[in-house]
Amino acid sequence: MNPSYPSIELLAERARQRMPGFAYDYLAGGCMAEVNLHKNTSDIRAVELRPAYLRDYKGASQKTTLFGREYASPFGIAPVGLQSLMWP
C-alpha cells in the first residue's frame, strides 16, 4: 500500500484532481442513475477481510487456470476506452 494514499477514497480524489473532468466522470461513473454503481460500492464496503495470523498456510495458493493458462496470482482490468487519458 502506498502511504501517500491510505484509502481508496483519497486515491480517487487525487485521480479526480489530475484527470480531465470528462475522463474521470467516464471512469468513475455508471449509467443513468448509477444505481448499480452505488449498490456495488455498498456491497464491497460490507465485505470484511480478516487476516488469519499465526496459522499454518503451507497449502494456500492463489494459483488459478484461465483459458488453459496458469496464473500465480490472477488480476485483471476490464477493457476501458479513453486509456490515454488515464494514468496513476
pTM summary value: 0.52
pLDDT in tens, 6-37: 888 888 898 899 888 988 888 888 888 889 98
> What value does the mean pLDDT take over residues 81-85?
71
Angle at 77 between CA 57 and CA 33, to 5 degrees: 115
Q: How confident is the model at residue 42 (pLDDT cuts 50, 70, 90)?
A: very high
Kind plus residue range of the DSSP H or E element containing 66? strand 64-66
- Shortest CA distance to 87 belongs to which of 15, 30, 21? 15
Contacts for 53 with CB less than 8 Å, ≥ 6 apart:
none
Q: Is the pLDDT of residue 72 over 80?
A: yes
> What value does the mean pLDDT take over residues 51-62?
80
Q: Is the pLDDT of residue 43 over 90?
A: yes
